[in-house]
Amino acid sequence: MAHDAIRYRLEGGPLLPWDPRNEGRSLRVEPANALTLSVSALDTGLRYARAGIGIICTFRNWLEEDFAAGRLLPVLPDWWPSMEGPHLYYPSRFAPPPLRAFIEVCQSTAGTR
């Protein structure tokens, strides 16, 4: 509770909850907000966390590279949910050529199974 938090808000709605879980127990955490962002700015929140603006609550698999490189430190790792975060592709955003090629291969083989 002594940390400043970078929080995400649903479009026109509430802040995403921070509900850490451990061995069947859960807590509702309401940290002090240093910054509130739209859920569409997930990457921005991560950049602010790397810059030391505050802590974030997100999926562990999205943070592994930062932990390995020492850019971020885990907070309460025993209380993180075991599920991995989604792996997303936004068709309305710029896709680099390798990603675009991968998407086209997936689309072309989707109907062949």
The CATH number that applies at residue 36 is 3.40.190.10
- Full pLDDT tens readout for the chain, 113 residues: 778 898 888 887 888 888 888 888 888 888 878 888 887 777 888 999 999 999 988 888 888 899 999 999 998 888 886 666 555 555 666 777 777 787 777 777 766 55
Assessment of whether the complete model's pTM goes beyond 0.75: no
Number of domains in the chain: 1
Residue 105 falls inside a structural domain: no
The whole domain housing 40 covers 4-86
Q: What angle do CA 64, 68, 74 make, to 5 degrees?
A: 65
β partners of residue 9: 15, 38
Residue 103 falls inside a structural domain: no
Helix ranges (H only) for 1-113 are 42-50, 64-69, 97-109
